[in-house]
Structure 1
Amino acid sequence: MNNIKDWVGNQITHSEPIYQHQLDGVAALLNEKVPAPGIVKPGGHWMYFLPTDGQNTLGPDGHATKGGFLPPIELPRRMWAGSRLIFHAPLQVGERAEKVSTVKSVTPKEGRTGKLVFVTVEHEVRNEKGLCIVEEHDIVFRDAPTEDGGTKQPQLAPTDGDWDTVINPDPVLLFRYSAVTFNSHRIHYDREYCIAEEGYPGLVVHGPLLGTLLMRLAEEKMQRPLKSFSFRNFNPIFDIASFTLSGKAEAEDKCTVWVAGPDGALAVSATAEF
């Protein structure tokens, strides 16, 4: 992995029309009204500019083989660590948009469970009028689990939320989200692979799906459009038990929201500004 930092500055561009179909797909899986309004809600941009890697280019985990846009990191596990988003203007159905993605940093580290590499990618989404969304996306690559790997007591989620919503995940929800995002990562739909190869107890709920649910909760409760949203994933959520979305207002234009696992552990923590 000596040359992985050479990928800093690597860039790729996608351009496509904003179609209604994707908005209807995410609205359906979130039990929202269909047909959906023709404006892309926060989190809806993840339904566009999707990867189209050939089947023969996919690795054992279902992701495209690394060494193209992302560096060839020789670690088998990959997770969405978090994102920081700024919303400048909405995307709307019928217009053409472009996303420019740039590798901003590649940072190797040593953790309790072995080697880690953090990759930060910046995405800028524009329409014909100008900049719409800027996102910094953190990806973490990790060693495979070992029997003697380090463990720690998970941080507990706050218990002082003013809003609480219980979500019961299931394989169908995860399949549909994988489908609308063309996400072939096997941890979200292949239970045998999850347990035997990656050591998880069940299917992993997508990081961006959790982020989308929290953004929806924040806008619903604050009754204002988001200006920025920052979230960090601490612990995975699985389809074997329910989890809770919670939050509270911190000011007129700010709230915190989070995801608590079935054992009360903090899974995702986020801050929303309006």
Structure 2
Amino acid sequence: MSAQSLMEPDYTDWIGRQDTREGGVTPNLAAMLNAAVSHDLSPMHHIAPGMVLPSLWHWVAFNEFVPMSDIGRDGHPALGGFLPPLPFRRRMWAGGDVRFDGQFHVGEKLTKLSTIRAVTMKEGSTGKMAFVTVDHVTTGAQGGVVEEEQNIVYLDMPKSFRPPKQTPVPERLAYDERVPMNEVRLFRYSAATYNAHRIHYDLPYAQQVEKYPALVVHGPMQATMAIEAAERHTGKTPVRFSYRVVHPLFHDSDMRVVGALDPAGGAIDIGTATFEGYFGLKARMEWDTGARPSGERVT
């Protein structure tokens, strides 16, 4: 046995592991999500079978219905099934990259192939952490395809809340919208996505165990609201969306949804933000200009 294997577990065997799931977004599920992410400036969709799914709504098509015996203390499915059994108790949705080709529809059969591409151990300012990169390819029965990279970070539970460095929002914006945020919206989104992570609805757990000052706004919800606003303001259909969560946002403060057009054209830098002036989720949406997507990602 090598010195390295004595120091930490080896997750090489998890690389390449795959999971295939079938799902879809029923009219009832689409209506639940619509009610959770809508606000005064966004469209309130008339949900019906065959309606084109708004961007990123396919994320609710494959909710995990694991039994209670397989749920960890944090509310997530316990590690060791598809994802590796990492020795960290705190799980965070870090970001990713999504490429769109075609459309999905309400009621359409969708199939998702997920592949673990990398498990990387790192040392950060707060101690050891692990990054798991998962590739997803979702295909629709009517020909649409979405390819995406998802990054999940795992850390030890902190002794106190240590906020990350703040990333300031630029002053010159194409739009700046206010979205009311509260416990009800977080509950509704958790219900629509069947997300039982307790940081989104269990305030004592969020504060006492994971050391957050308040309930945490879901990263995927922020991404869904950010891309909806970008499409509404530009009138463009995305071919690529890259995103990164740079700071947690909380239920006790309203959220900003912002965007700044790229002067070079073909893209808009977008995200969610606080009224103190820093990003929660930082993202970029690109659309088809007749050229290939730039390959540039959010940093």
TM-score per shorter chain, which class?
A: over 0.9
Q: Which residue of 2 aligns with 1:20?
A: 27
Instruction: Decide which of 203, 216, 227 is 1:204's aligned counterpart.
Output: 216
Letter in structure 1 aligned against 2:90: R
1:70 to 83, 94, 99: 83
| Residue 163 to residue 94, structure 1, CA distance change in 2 (3 Å) | same
Write the distance in 1 (CA, Å) between the matches of 2:192 and 2:275.
27
Residue of structure 1 in register with 2:291 after alignment: none
1:1-274 mapped onto 2 (5 Å cutoff): 1-31=8-38, 32-36=43-47, 38-147=51-160, 153-250=165-262, 251-274=264-287
**Residue 280 of structure 2: SS of its match in structure 1?**
strand
Shift of 1:154: 2.1
Distance in 1, Cα, partners of 2:93 & 2:10? 23
TM-score (norm 2): 0.87
Cα distance in 2 for residues equivalent to 1:151 and 1:254: 30
Q: Name the amino acid aligned to 2:181.
A: P
Report the Cα distance in structure 1 between the residues aligned to 2:162 and 2:36, rounded to whole angstroms.
37
CA deviation profile, 1:168-194 (whole Å, cap 9, x unmatched): 210100000000000010010000000
| Amino acid in the other structure paired with 2:19 | I
Q: Which amino acid aligns with 2:107?
A: G
AA partner of residue 47 (structure 2)? A
CA deviation map 1:87-124 (0-9, x unaligned): 11111133311011111111110111111101111111
Assess, with a 3 A threshold, how the Cα gap between structure 1 residues 132 and 30 changes in structure 2: closer, same or farther: same
Instruction: Encode CA deviations 1:148-171: one digit per residue, 9 max, x unaligned.
Output: x87664232222212000122101
What per-residue deviation string (whole Å, max 9, x for no partner) do you get for residues 223-260 of structure 1?
Answer: 01111100111010001112211112214421111222
Amino acid at match of 1:209: M
Q: Read off the aligned partner of 1:203 and give its amino acid letter.
A: L
Q: How far apart are the structure 2 equivalents of 1:258 and 1:94?
A: 29
Which segments of 5 or more consecutive residues in structure 2 lack a partner in the other structure?
1-7, 288-299
After TM superposition, give the deviation of residue 133 of structure 1 in Å.
Answer: 0.6
Give how far 1:3 is off. 2.4
Partner deviation per Cα, 1:34-87 (whole Å, 9 max, x = no partner):
432611111201111111111111011001110110000111111110121011
| Alpha-carbon separation, structure 1, partners of 2:181 and 2:228 | 17
Alignment-mate amino acid for residue 166 of structure 2? P
Conserved? CA contact 2:25–2:58, under 8 Å: no
Instruction: Decide whether the 8 Å contact of 2:61 with 2:110 is kept in 1.
Output: no
SS in 1 for 2:238: coil
- Alpha-carbon spacing, 1:218–1:150, altered in 2? closer, same or farther (3 Å): closer
Partners of 1:30 and 1:144 in 2: CA distance: 29
Task: Tell whether the 8 Å contact from 2:37 to 2:221 is kept in structure 1 after alignment.
Answer: no
User: In angstroms, what is the RMSD of aligned CA positions?
Assistant: 1.7
Q: What count of residue pairs does the alignment treat as equivalent?
A: 273
